[in-house]
Amino acid sequence: MGVSTFYPGRLIDLCNFVEVAHAVNQVETHAFRQQRSAHETMVKYGVQHESWGPFAEGRKDFFSNPALCETGAKYGKSSAQTTLRFLLQTSVVVMAKTVRRERMEENLNVFDFSLSDEDMRSISALDEGGEHIFLPLRCRRGRVLDRAGIIKAEEEAYRYDDCRGKQAVRRQRRHSALL
């Protein structure tokens, strides 16, 4: 069984209060949003991290990003292949969306090379953070699972400029208050 967009607070709650172990958690993960702390939580609870949108949906000039293109050129690979390889080397499962056969073949052609430590650091530096647009849930006894996470999430929620994100934070606050 798998879940989607269960950030650390929700995932911890899920893992602690369900009988069926969850195998996969799919969250937005790409070169610009690497979800490091979410990944650590998934590893701790034995849940496989799966990337949703490994190509950042083409935003931020993803396919022409200088760091990704230069790194890819060393191996004769595209920025997309370089990113897929980066995610695989960080133990993130990837499923790249495409309907074109040639891109499917390109996306599968990432197992014949490995990125060097220097290249991994270079791509890691592209991470813009913004991992936590959530508030941790309270456990059944009313104790906050991660008080520091609440403060961080509130600070980031006010900076988050996507209307849906603000609404999600408000819903989460209401939900947390009810528990």
pLDDT digits (tens, 9 = 90+) for 77-121: 999 999 999 999 999 999 888 899 999 999 999 999 999 999 999
User: 38 vs 13, which has greater pLDDT?
Assistant: 38
Beta bridge partners of 99: none
> Over the stretch 119-164, which tens digit does the pLDDT of each residue have?
999 999 999 976 543 434 444 444 444 444 444 444 444 333 344 4
**61: pLDDT strictly greater than 70:** yes
pLDDT number for residue 121: 96
How far CA 165 is from CA of 103, 133, 170, in Å, comes to 31, 7, 9
**DSSP structural state of residue 125:** T
Q: What is the DSSP letter of 52?
A: E
Please tell me the distance from the alpha carbon of residue 156 to that of residue 171, in angstroms, as a whole number.
15
| Stated pTM of the model | 0.71
Averaged pLDDT, 26-32:
93
How much is the pLDDT for 134?
Answer: 40
